[in-house]
Amino acid sequence: MDIIASAVQQFIDLAHQAIKERGQFTVALSGGSTPKAIYQTLSQKPKALDWGRVFLFWSDERSVPPDHPDSNYRMAMEHLGKLPILEEHIFRMHAENDIEVNAAAYEHVIKAKTDGIFDLVMLGMGEDGHTASLFPGTEALKITDRLVVPNYIPHLDSWRMTLTFPCINAARTICVYVLGEKKRARLKEVLAGENDFPISYVKNPHWVTDIKL
Ligand code: 6PG
C-alpha cells in the first residue's frame, strides 16, 4: 500500500473507532502537500465513514479570507467539501480581521465540541522544524494556558492562527506527515533529539513518512 493510501486508511480507522466509542470524530486538519493528497483520496470515499458524525477543525490558518489561494480551509474544503459533512460541523479558523478575538472564540468552540481533546490532530513539519504555525522563536511556543492563539511570524511578516502545544498534545492521536527527501536531515535531527525544534515538543507523534532513516 502506498503512503497516502495507508494514511487514508489510518484516518478512516481512527474515525470508526471514535464514532464507535464516543459517537463523533473530531479532527484538526493541517495545510501542506501530504494532507492535501489525503483529502483528495478521502473525497472519493463517501461511503467509507458516517460523515455526518465527523467534525472538522483546523490546526492552523493563514490570515486570509476563506476563498484565498493560501487558505488552509479552502485547500481542505476543495476536496472534503464533496463529502456529506454537515455544514454545522465545519469550523474554519477566522485568522483574518480581529485575530485575537477570533482565536478566543475558536478556543471556545473547541472546548464546547471536543472538551479540548481532538480525536486526531494532523500536522506537517517544515524544513525549519515548525509545525502548525508554531515557528522557531515565535511567541506561541511559550503558551501554556491557551488552546488557540494568534502568532506573528516575523520572517513571513504575517499573522497566523494556530493550535498551541497544550491543545495539540491533549489529542488522542497526533499524526505528523513528513514526505520527501528534502526533509531527511531535519527529521533525523528531530528524531535523534539533538536540537530543539517546535516539532520536538509534540508528544508521541505518529510519524507518517516515506523517508528511510
Ligand atoms: C501550513 C501548515 C504547515 C505545514 C508545513 C509542512 O499551513 O503551512 O500547517 O505547518 O504543515 O509547513 O508543509 P508541507 O508538508 O507542504 O511541506
Query: Ligand 1 mean position to 20 CA, how many Å?
Result: 31
Angle of CA points 164, 79, 2, to nearest 5°: 85
Q: How do strand 173-178 and strand 206-209 relate by DSSP bridges? A: parallel
Query: Ligand 1 mean position to 164 CA, how many Å?
Result: 15
- In the chain, the amino acid numbered 9 is Q
> Under a CB-based contact definition with an 8 Å cutoff, are residues 144 and 161 in contact?
no
Q: What is the pLDDT of residue 123?
A: 98
Position 66 confidence tier, pLDDT thresholds 50, 70, 90: very high
Nearest-CA residue for atom 16 of ligand 1: 32
For the cut 80, the answer to whether the pLDDT of residue 49 exceeds it is yes
> Under a CB-based contact definition with an 8 Å cutoff, are residues 60 and 72 in contact?
yes
For the cut 90, the answer to whether the pLDDT of residue 173 exceeds it is yes
Atom number, ligand 1, closest to the C-alpha of residue 132: 10
Atom number, ligand 1, closest to the C-alpha of residue 134: 10
- What residues contact residue 161 under an 8 Å CB cut-off, 6+ apart? 60, 61, 63, 93, 94, 95, 99, 102, 103, 106, 133, 148, 149, 150, 151
What confidence tens digit (pLDDT) does each residue in 92-103 have? 999 999 999 999
Q: What is the pLDDT of residue 1?
A: 65
For the cut 90, the answer to whether the pLDDT of residue 194 exceeds it is no
For the cut 80, the answer to whether the pLDDT of residue 113 exceeds it is yes
Across residues 8-12, what is the average pLDDT?
98
Across residues 53-58, what is the average pLDDT?
98
Average pLDDT along the chain: 97
Position 108 confidence tier, pLDDT thresholds 50, 70, 90: very high
Place of cell 466509542: 21
For the cut 70, the answer to whether the pLDDT of residue 206 exceeds it is yes
Q: What is the pLDDT of residue 213?
A: 82
Q: What percent of the chain has pLDDT over 90?
A: 97
What confidence tens digit (pLDDT) does each residue in 114-172 have? 999 999 999 999 999 999 999 999 999 999 999 999 999 999 999 999 999 999 999 99
Q: What percent of the chain has pLDDT over 70?
A: 100
- What residues contact residue 178 under an 8 Å CB cut-off, 6+ apart? 34, 124, 125, 187, 207, 208, 209, 211
Across residues 202-207, what is the average pLDDT?
98
Query: What single DSSP character describes residue 142?
Result: G
Atom number, ligand 1, closest to the C-alpha of residue 177: 15
| Global confidence as pTM | 0.97
Nearest-CA residue for atom 11 of ligand 1: 124
